[in-house]
Amino acid sequence: MPLSFNLQEKLRQFHANADGAPKSIWITRGPEHLLASGAEGEGPLAGKLVAVKDNIDVQGFPTTAGCPEFSYTPKRSARVVEALVAAGAAVVGKTNLDQFACGLVGTRSPYGVVPNAFDPDYISGGSSSGSAVAVALGLVDIALGTDTAGSGRIPAGFNNLVGLKPSRGLLSARGVVPACRHLDCVSIFTRDVPLAADVLAVCAGFDPADPFSRPVALDPAFLPEKFRYGIPDTEHLQFDGDGLSEESFGRALALLAGLGGTASAIDFTPFAEAAGALYEEAWLAERYAAIQPFFDSQNASIHPVVRAIIERGRHHSAADLFMAMVRLGEWRQSAQIWSRVDVLVVPTAPTHPTIAEVLAEPFATNQRLGRYTNFVNLLDLAAVSVPALIRPDGLPFGITLIGPAGSEWKLLDLAARFHEASGLAGGLDRGGPPPAKTQARPEGTTVKVAVVGAHLDGLPLNGLLRSRDARLIAKTATAPVYRLFALQGTRPPKPGLVRQGASGKAGLSIEAEVWEIPTLSYGAFVAEIPAPLGIGSIEMVDGSRIQGFLCEAAAVENALDISHFGGWRAYLKHSGHEH
């Protein structure tokens, strides 16, 4: 299938830019591997270029998992890749990684160390190092990584990106070389939140071919405008002496407060203990099990640091694992903080090491980097890392928003609001702030409804909207084709909106608010509306039509016409009935 002109030009530019970027970003790339269906120019991701971490199968590309001797060429792409291609995206290459997805540093690969996009002396983070840097440098729009212990978040934080780690099992792992199979997640790198949400919507879904896939029920509710967020208690909020990171986290919290957040310190003990256990207890046995035949026969070909970590997994017994599972159950019970806070906020990483520091002390440095990431999959949580600021030394700093499984839309919504408020463009882009779009949800998950009376913000019935997790998204007006009447005998007082013709008078434009309500809550909200009001299609001043409150014509025959006030608020103020 011939490529469209626009895609041909985009690919030409990609290869020109990639030729000038660090070679260690890529393991395989080339136009001969483009998937034809990604060139059709149709679908929600049409024309987007995608890089794929080289432990995820792409048909026609070898899969190495960062180890040349392990290489094989799959006959079929991973399900997530198939979903992206079906949505119009084009895969341009396979990216470097910490071998067998074992590490948070980006230095454990025979294909070379992947340097940080902002300063080549510093680590890019791993294991999804190449994927993150490819997005940060603007070579691709989207990259897929994997995240078992933080590999989709640490590289995002270190390269000024959005890094989404979905709930376990929400994205299929069929066609992914496992690290810890029951914990592995495919992760998403983008330069802004709305695109990450679009990718999630395209890729999410139950897959019977993946034994750990599950139908995750995504919570449709919005985060409240006034929200509560938890932060680690003083004992556990550690930055390893990095004053710039500590100062940056404080500035990020101030930005959250400005968005309506109230912080409270939580007992971080169960999170910290779970984080420490991931590389110290029987969970290491699963890393060994993932590649056992290859490890037993060819371990000399494995990177020395990776080999040493996986070797430790050979010595745990089944009894060790069951005892670890009991401790994990205790941590999960102790970590149930969600009745007290809406979201947990942590630094994506406590500090940002240099490549030299990691090479000098690869084990302890890696463990410290996972302080705020290692526990997330063990405790069955969702997370998104979002850029916060650029430190005075020129390095990016990010925070991670964490919630229970299924909370992706809440997390992405807050991440979009935070990223927009930061004014910080993604990656190395110096062209301006992120998109001014705070709604990060796919079509069909919410309904827009126009209100003109007692449901307006701050008025008596507004609580019925807020109790259904609705949020105000616009203050606007109707098209100039309506009349507004003060209905008789209603408690609390309500107006009735009627399209022109019923009263024989010309229509006017009436003040309105547009609220967005989760689709799953909309039916219950509509069921509460008493006669003579109901829901119909309202024409807005911009010509669009959305759901909204209308009134039966018979109910306004003897009602006071208040259209000339321009809206219900102005009438209440004039009549002395405001609030």
User: Model confidence over 25-68: pLDDT tens digits?
Assistant: 999 997 644 554 455 567 899 989 999 999 999 998 999 999 99
Q: Hey, which residues are catalytic here?
A: 53, 127, 151
Residue 340's DSSP bridge partners are none
For 573, the token pair is 């103020």
Please give the mean pLDDT across all residues of the chain: 92
pLDDT, tens only, 431-473? 566 665 545 566 677 899 999 999 999 999 999 998 888 889 8
User: Which domains, and CATH codes, for the chain?
Assistant: 5-279+326-422 (3.90.1300.10), 446-575 (3.10.490.10)
Q: What's the pLDDT at 12?
A: 85
Instruction: Tell me which residue has tokens 């294909």.
Output: 111
Q: What's the pLDDT at 1?
A: 44
Q: Is the peptide bond before 442 cis (omega within 30 degrees of 0)?
A: no
Dump the DSSP string for 408-435: HHHHHHHHHHHHHHHTPPSTT--S-PPP
pLDDT, tens only, 213-259? 999 988 877 888 899 999 999 999 999 999 999 999 999 999 999 99
Q: How many CB atoms lie within 10 A of CB 446?
A: 24
DSSP H helices, 404-550, are 408-422, 462-466, 519-527
Evaluate if residue 398 carries a pLDDT over 70. yes
Q: Nearest Cα to 516, choosing from 469, 448, 443? A: 448
The three-state DSSP-derived secondary structure of 293-333 is HHHHHHHHHCCHHHHHHHHHHHHCCHHHHHHHHHHHHHHHH
Q: What's the pLDDT at 438?
A: 47
Evaluate if residue 501 carries a pLDDT over 80. no
Q: What's the pLDDT at 393?
A: 96
Dump the DSSP string for 167-210: PTTTB--TTB--SSTTT-EEEEEESSHHHHHHHHHHHB---TTS
Q: What's the pLDDT at 36?
A: 41
Evaluate if residue 195 carries a pLDDT over 60. yes
8-state DSSP, 447: E
The pTM assigned to this predicted structure is 0.86
| Alpha-carbon distances of 136 from 21, 156, 202, 418, rounded to whole Å | 11, 9, 22, 19
